Chains A and B, each alone.
Chain A
């Protein structure tokens, strides 16, 4: 396709540029705005986070080089370890129960059934509702005189006690999170060819064996996807903590993301906050590599 007629910006091209050269430039121009965006708002910040993490910086004064000082400080900093513990606990207490419940939901509405569409909507709706609004409302639901205690016959002051506050947030998060997991599981279940089940049923396999020998193994890549997403979600969790407990009581619900916010934007210790960010960044990188490995294996099987 050798042509010289008007291209986009036709008149402005140097006369001696050939069609293919022009097309390459045009193609690049299409991607340019997005490229600039990512350079300015993603790449530059992450590089800048690395740089700031080696400095002491309070936003107003000059940056002072402290080498690995911020990282050394983290190693012995109880706030840092507490935030890591909160993040890990949140992930562990939130993930497995949410997966299990979501899996049960997905299995129940997998087959044709009256009201299937309705149930799917009901289970998914909390996921779509505003995180901020639901966190606000749940801080009332979880009050000592609130309806959750009334229904369960308890009288726990969920969010104001150090040993139950994280549980309160976990309950809310499971309620909001199961819908998404369910939808992921449903998609996974629907991708299992029906013939597998038919063949096994002819061989006389019962429900439980179908589950054990077909469903669960076939869903392995879906489980891997879900696990990694949960871990990353744990590292990102911020809004429920900020709204429901502010990270308290006594830092019992201050997650990693919240620690970054507090250190950097409340206490203006940008260097230390960036060092925490870098720890999170490295964790995410590791997880991503693991995820790529897992998915490559999975694709290899499918093809």
Chain B
């Protein structure tokens, strides 16, 4: 190992540490601020370690709005959306990957095209439709219209295509019905894909803001992101409370990320889970 390359190595490491500090600084400030007495939040120079540590910010912030209710709503929506997002695209993926029927290609291309259609573009007519269905301020309205995304269909088709058709044909010769084949052969073989899909759906559902904002005006049906936005919109909402609920909102995402880091980063690189 030459001396020069060691110098480069150390310089690179030092640079990375500086960058990491810059990226971490807001997160550290947020967590530390959420544990401070209000009058210390904006002290300059910044007090990084709260003293005293004021844990009660969390229960106080939590009860300042109806966050328990919001959390329940968020969880209901999350489980429903994850279920729908995993089940129906998998069925469709099996249909597209292992069956032939007239119009299949056109249908598939059309569905792929839908992945380019952001909610921002169709929110007005979608709101009108949901209103006509009588779904404003209801769970179906909150859950269904954004529950399936085209990427999931594409993703499942890719995975199911990679299953050797011989397995499926063998089962067909044995007289298995197609639904049995789906559940007993296809599903077990694409389990990793289903887990990835479920994780991505959970991340997206937990953080979805625009759609709940559009369909929900009844605070009883508000999800966590809406609840936070209500607290934020109060005149002079206490900063330490805002930070505390932000931490609560972000922590499950962080945990999912730590638990499935590789999976999430890989699919992020392929698809752009954000934005």
Contact = CB atoms under 8 A, between A and B. Distances in A.
Interface of A: 1, 3, 5-10, 23-31, 33-35, 37-38, 40-46, 48-49, 52, 59, 104-105, 108-109, 113-115, 118-134, 136-141, 143, 145-147, 150-151, 175-178, 180, 183-184, 186-187, 229-230, 232-233, 235-239, 242-243, 256-257, 260-261, 264-265, 270, 273-274, 277, 280-281, 284-285, 288
Nearest to B8: A207
Given A48-B128, A126-B23, A273-B124, 18 more contacts: A7-B178, A23-B178, A27-B98, A27-B101, A45-B129, A52-B125, A119-B16, A126-B27, A127-B274, A130-B246, A132-B229, A140-B243, A180-B272, A184-B268, A260-B121, A260-B124, A277-B121, A280-B121
Given A37-B88, A146-B42, A137 B229 contact: no
A27 B95 CA distance: 5
A28 B95 contact: yes
Interface string B1-16: 0000000010011011
B29 interface: yes
A280 B129 contact: no
Contact of B207 (A113, A131, A237): A131
Given A3-B173, A126-B23, A139 B116 contact: no
A41 B120 contact: no
Q: In the A-B complex, list the 5 residue pairs whose CB atoms are closest, starting with the nearest.
A: A27-B99, A30-B95, A233-B275, A133-B246, A48-B125
A88 to B, nearest CB: 16
Contacts of A45: 122, 125-126, 129
Contacts of A23: 99-100, 178
B99 A30 contact: yes
B177 A123 contact: no
B88 A34 contact: yes
A31, A104, A229, A256: which has the most chain B beta carbons within 10 Å? A31
A143 B268 CA distance: 32
A239 B210 contact: yes
19 contacts: A1-B169, A34-B111, A34-B153, A37-B147, A37-B148, A44-B129, A46-B125, A52-B128, A108-B15, A114-B13, A118-B20, A119-B16, A130-B225, A130-B250, A136-B229, A175-B23, A183-B268, A265-B127, A284-B118
Contacts of A146: 42
Given A30-B92, A38-B150, A109 B16 contact: yes
A146 B42 CA distance: 6
B225 A123 contact: no
A125 B15 CA distance: 19
A49 B250 CA distance: 35
- Specify the main secondary structure of chain A where it touches its partner: helix
- Specify the main secondary structure of chain B where it touches its partner: helix
Interface stretch (B50-58, B190-198, B257-265): B257-265
B269 A31 contact: no
B159 interface: no
Contacts of B89: 34
A10 B33 CA distance: 64
B203 interface: yes
B24 interface: yes
Contacts of B29: 141, 147
Nearest to A141: B26
Contacts of A277: 120-124
B150, B177, B258, B266: which has the most chain A beta carbons within 10 Å? B177
Contact of A131 (B88, B101, B148, B209): B209
B185 interface: no
A145 B42 contact: yes
Contacts of A9: 177
B20 A31 contact: no
A124 to B, nearest CB: 6
Given A42-B122, A123-B20, A139-B232, A129 B250 contact: yes
Contacts of B91: 30-31, 33-34
